[in-house]
Amino acid sequence: MQKIKFIADTASDIPDDLLAKYNIDMPSVPITIEGKEYWERRSFSIHEFYRILEGTKEIPKTSRVPADDFLSCYKKAYEQGYTDVICVTINAGGSGTNMSAHMAKELFYKKAPEAADKINIHIVDSKTYTMVYGYPVVESAKMAQDGKSAGEILDYLKDFFDTCEVYLACYTLEYARKSGRISSVAAFAGGALGLKPVVAMIDGGTKVVAKVRGEKRLLPQLVKIYEEKRDDKDGFLMIACGEVAEYGLELQQMLQEKLEREVPIFNIGASIAINSGPKIAAIAFRGKKR
């Protein structure tokens, strides 16, 4: 019988109650704010960070989760008798956190060679951000509780990340331009014309897929994209928003009226808000397998 431990960094934005319920370990992303180092989810709450972000003169900077933090998680899992560790990280193309997880794995087996036949460490690049990869981690933990094997869970994760699509409505481009992390938005020029971009975030890349005139057309554009591209194989659909809850609630109402079912909303955390800004709305769903 396999005993599986799940790990996801704080950029996954998994709520505290779900972390506790499914015993998910969450190493924290370091964030530098005006020369001082803090830790996501440990130094401040999500809503406290929104206020910090709007009050800083410089855009805060994130660093990759230290390898030692992953190493501590692996050691603890081994000591507690887990047979498998499934570690899912933020998009490797936008963060060195995935590399840290691999470095820690190599160091773990080097320091404890006797563990090689007792515990398997699987590291998964989500190729995406926020609760969009937090959600399948939670679903994977449910699968483990139901007796699914590590192999079955890894197959599910691969299929999820090979079909997941995220579309981001940008109400402001200030943060994306300054951070440089969302390159396609940084290159977008439309402010003088009142144009707002909708950005696709798929397979670790970003691309402007629509330009709409005025903020009021952003959310209807997200609904239109969902209707055109969705593949409801498992019904996965979620909304993410930042400090302006109304953006998320308005999008939620639009979708729920069309679909006649509940659509969950999650808040983006500090790691994501730094690059997108706190004033966003996004929709995530599963499309065609790529």
Q: Distance between the two ends of the chain, CA-based, in angstroms?
A: 33
Which residues in the chain land under pLDDT 50?
none
Q: Both 81 and 131 in a single domain?
A: yes
| pLDDT recorded at residue 287 | 95
| pLDDT recorded at residue 141 | 98
Q: Both 229 and 153 in a single domain?
A: no
Number of folded domains that form the chain: 2
Which CATH number do you get for residue 42? Answer: 3.40.50.10170
Distances (CA, A) of 162 to 158, 165, 171, 287: 6, 9, 28, 9
Q: Both 184 and 103 in a single domain?
A: no
Last residue of a domain, one of 162, 185, 220: 162
Q: Both 128 and 193 in a single domain?
A: no
Q: Both 127 and 52 in a single domain?
A: yes
70 exposed, middle or buried (CB, 10 Å; 0-12, 13-18, 19+)? buried
Q: Which amino acid is at 81?
A: G
**Sheet with 120-125, side-by-side order of all strands:** 4-8, 84-89, 120-125
| pTM metric for this prediction | 0.92
| pLDDT recorded at residue 123 | 98
CA torsion angle 174 237 253 272 (round to 10): -20
Query: Which stretch of DSSP H or E encloses residue 125?
Result: strand 120-125
| pLDDT recorded at residue 181 | 56
Q: Are 10 and 28 in contact (CB under 8 A)?
A: yes
- Give the separation between CA 52 and CA 102, rounded to whole angstroms: 32
Which CATH number do you get for residue 182? Answer: 3.30.1180.10
Q: Both 143 and 10 in a single domain?
A: yes
Last residue of a domain, one of 116, 137, 162: 162
Q: Both 27 and 150 in a single domain?
A: yes
- Cβ atoms < 10 Å from Cβ of 182: 24
Tokens of 151: 């192999």
Q: Both 207 and 266 in a single domain?
A: yes
Q: Are 138 and 254 in contact (CB under 8 A)?
A: no
**What would you report as the CA-atom Rg of the chain, rounded to the nearest whole angstrom?**
19
Query: Which stretch of DSSP H or E encloses residue 62?
Result: strand 61-62
| pLDDT recorded at residue 260 | 94
Last residue of a domain, one of 162, 194, 221: 162
What residues form DSSP beta bridges with 239?
265, 283
Q: Both 199 and 268 in a single domain?
A: yes
Q: Both 36 and 64 in a single domain?
A: yes
Beta strands in 144-215 (DSSP E): 164-170, 195-202, 205-213
Residue 210 is part of which domain span?
163-286
Three-state DSSP class for residue 213 = strand
